[in-house]
């Protein structure tokens, strides 16, 4: 199985992952092979089976609605590749 080039470009765009034209053909084969392999799940009759997102040993907890952390601007920004004052800096988004 091979995924078509348009599909590779579409999912790369959705993932915001730059993929060069030279890589497309290799990814069509590699990803196609993986997808073809996982399609073995089609052999199973899954009618009436409940899906699970996890094993759910923990019951979701509630806590008091209060501030427990904050006022750590320098720590939060300490790894920012670009900053302007107490803000992250990014290329201009709004004209």
Partner 1 sequence: MSDMVELTGQSLAAALDGLEKGRFSSVELTRAHLDAVEALNPTLNAYITVTAEQALTQAAEADAVRARGEAGLLCGAPVAIKDLFCTEGVRTTAASRILSNFVPPYESTVTAQMKRDGAVSLGKTNLDEFAMGSSNMTSAFGAVQNPWRRRGDDSPLVPGGSSGGSASAVAARIALAATGTDTGGSIRQPASFCGIAGIKPTYGRCSRWGTVAFASSLDQAGPLARTVEDCAILLRSMAGFDPKDSTSVDVAVPDFRAAVGRSVKGMRIGIPAEYRAPGMPEEIERWWQQGIAWLRDAGCEIVDVSLPHTRYGLATYYIVAPAECSSNLARYDGVRFGERVEADSLDALYERSRAAGFGDEVKRRILIGTYVLSSGYYDAYYLKAQKVRSLILRDFTEAFGRVDALLTPTAPSAAFGLGEKMSDPVTMYLNDIFTVPASMAGVPGMSVPVGLDSAGLPLGLQLIGRPFDEETLFALGSALEKAAGFDHLPALRAGAVA
Query: What angle is formed at CA 89 by the lines to CA 84 and CA 91, rounded to 5 degrees?
Result: 135
Q: Does 81 bind partner 1 (CB under 8 A)?
A: yes
Cβ count near 34 (within 10 Å): 12
Least spacing, CB of residue 34 vs partner 1, in Å: 6
Closest alpha carbon to 27 in 57, 44, 59, 4? 4
**Cα–Cα distance, 66 to 16 (Å, whole number):** 35
Q: Of residues 48-77, which lie at the interface with partner 1 (CB under 8 A)?
A: 49-55, 57-58, 60-61, 63, 72, 75-76
Binding site for partner 1 (CB under 8 A): 3, 7-8, 10-12, 14-20, 27, 30-31, 33-35, 37-38, 40-42, 44, 46, 49-55, 57-58, 60-61, 63, 72, 75-76, 78-82, 88, 90-91, 93
């Amino acid at each position: 199985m091979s995924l078509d080039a348009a599909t590779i470009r579409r999912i790369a765009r959705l993932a915001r992952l730059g993929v060069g034209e030279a890589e497309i053909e290799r990814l069509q084969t590699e990803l196609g092979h993986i997808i073809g392999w996982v399609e073995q799940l089609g052999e199973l009759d899954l009618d009436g089976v409940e899906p699970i997102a996890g094993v759910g040993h923990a019951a979701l907890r509630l806590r008091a609605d209060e501030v427990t952390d904050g006022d750590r601007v320098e720590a939060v920004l300490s790894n920012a590749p670009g900053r302007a004052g107490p803000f992250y800096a990014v290329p201009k988004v709004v004209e």
